[in-house]
Amino acid sequence: MGSPKSVKIGTVTIGGGAPIAIQTMCSTKTADVAATLAQIKAQAKAGCHVTRVAIPNKEAALALSAITKESPLPIVADIHFDYRLALMSIDGGAAEVRINPGNIGAKERVAEVVKAAKAADIPIRIGVNSGSLPQNLRHLPLSEGLVQAALDEIKVLEDLDFSAIKISIKATDVLTTVKAYRKLHTLCDYPLHLGLTESGTLLNGAIRSSAALAILLSEGIGDTIRVSLASDPIKEVLVAKELLRSLDLYQGGVVVHACPTCARCHGSVWQMAEKLEERLATFKSKRTINLAVMGCEVNGPGEAALADMGMAMKGNKEAILFVKGEMVASGPEEEIFNKLIEKVENYYAEKM
């Protein structure tokens, strides 16, 4: 569902019924072109659709053209305060600029950025954050303040006859974020970028982001997501991908199911499952492949009957390979692990 209106960030359509796009943001110094490009390439390999770089200074803005020329992903330039950095970024090939018109300053400065965005035919993301809410809105309940800030910013751009707009209104709190986006969704039809701000470290951040985003996405709210984590951006992409996949909003790649283990367990299920996940994290396929790692050969394959295939431990560092619950091979754990990988790669890899 999502928003009726759409924008294009490079080749990626956001909104208008397009698939939900996954975004992340580089953690490298933007001025370090080689490190930033290496990270963007890894993000793309992990399944990211759009990435963002911060442009805190002139060096970063100047580095942007070298990055956009080589980048496999469209790049959003993130600018605060200095409109000249936005202009330089647009010149440098940014596929979108993220600004907060409220902190760019005088109207003429916003108008300059809008003029350049129009000429380059790129959208602007209005990024409202709970931490930087305008003074005049701080008396409101936070969710209402976020929505009002977004509406005020939309008006600034619309008054300049600009409509290639995408909006985010992020809070750190799950329920505030949900409330704010629900409200904004009823008041405007521009595409929405969903996310929590400062959601936390890998485990907590993934849980809190998933809680908020799953509620909104299942109500048809949201067109693109960023799972913001105090962790490697590649992890952000993998968490976002898994979140979308679990809501049936993303097809492809591998999901590893694993039993929790119990007293019947005959092997190292947790480690094997992690190893499998790591090995196939960037695997590309047209439909989602369900794999299972189970702790015992008797109950395991039956419990994982819905998996496409998997391995079950049988003791003495041996395991069986099963396909749709039926055993097809038996042998040392490592050998079965490799056979499983081989089967996945032979049968399901998307032909590029």
User: What residues line the site for ligand SF4 (CB under 6 A)?
Assistant: 259-262, 264-265, 294-296, 299-300, 303
| Smallest gap from residue 328 Cβ to ligand SF4 (A) | 18
| Smallest gap from residue 276 Cβ to ligand SF4 (A) | 15
Q: In which residue are the tokens 């485990």 written?
A: 203
Instruction: Give the nearer residue to ligand SF4 in terms of CB position, either 6 or 261.
Output: 261
| Smallest gap from residue 305 Cβ to ligand SF4 (A) | 12
Phi, psi angles (nearest 5°) of residue 101: -45, -35
Instruction: Give the nearer residue to ligand SF4 in terms of CB position, either 282 or 299.
Output: 299
Per-residue three-class SS string for 65-132: HHHHHHCCCCEEEECCCCHHHHHHHHHCCCCEEEECHHHHCCHHHHHHHHHHHHHHCCCEEEEEEHHH
The answer to whether 146 and 128 have CB atoms below 8 angstroms apart is: yes
β-pairing, 12-15 vs 21-25, is unpaired
Instruction: Give the nearer residue to ligand SF4 in terms of CB position, either 106 or 262.
Output: 262
Instruction: Give the nearer residue to ligand SF4 in terms of CB position, either 242 or 303.
Output: 303
Q: How many Cβ atoms are within 10 Å of 316's Cβ, its own excluded?
A: 10
Torsion of CA 64, 69, 74, 77, to 10 degrees: 10
Burial 5-33 (b: 16+ CB within 10 A, else e): bbbbbbebbbbeebbbbbbbbbbbbbbbb
Question: What is the number of the residue whose Cβ is closest to ligand SF4?
Answer: 295
| Smallest gap from residue 325 Cβ to ligand SF4 (A) | 12
| Smallest gap from residue 238 Cβ to ligand SF4 (A) | 24
Instruction: Give the nearer residue to ligand SF4 in terms of CB position, either 244 or 296.
Output: 296
Residue partners of 97: CB distance under 8 A and separation at least 6: 76, 77, 78, 79, 86, 89, 90, 113, 117, 122, 124, 125
Instruction: Give the nearer residue to ligand SF4 in terms of CB position, either 30 or 261.
Output: 261
Instruction: Give the nearer residue to ligand SF4 in terms of CB position, either 129 or 299.
Output: 299
What are the Cα distances from residue 121, in Å, to 94, 95, 97, 321?
11, 9, 11, 53
The answer to whether 131 and 170 have CB atoms below 8 angstroms apart is: no
Torsion of CA 302, 303, 308, 312, to 10 degrees: -80
| Smallest gap from residue 297 Cβ to ligand SF4 (A) | 8
Instruction: Give the nearer residue to ligand SF4 in terms of CB position, either 248 or 260.
Output: 260
Query: Cα(117)–Cα(323) distance, rounded to whole angstroms?
Result: 53
Instruction: Give the nearer residue to ligand SF4 in terms of CB position, either 268 or 285.
Output: 268
| Smallest gap from residue 293 Cβ to ligand SF4 (A) | 9
| Smallest gap from residue 300 Cβ to ligand SF4 (A) | 4
| Smallest gap from residue 299 Cβ to ligand SF4 (A) | 4
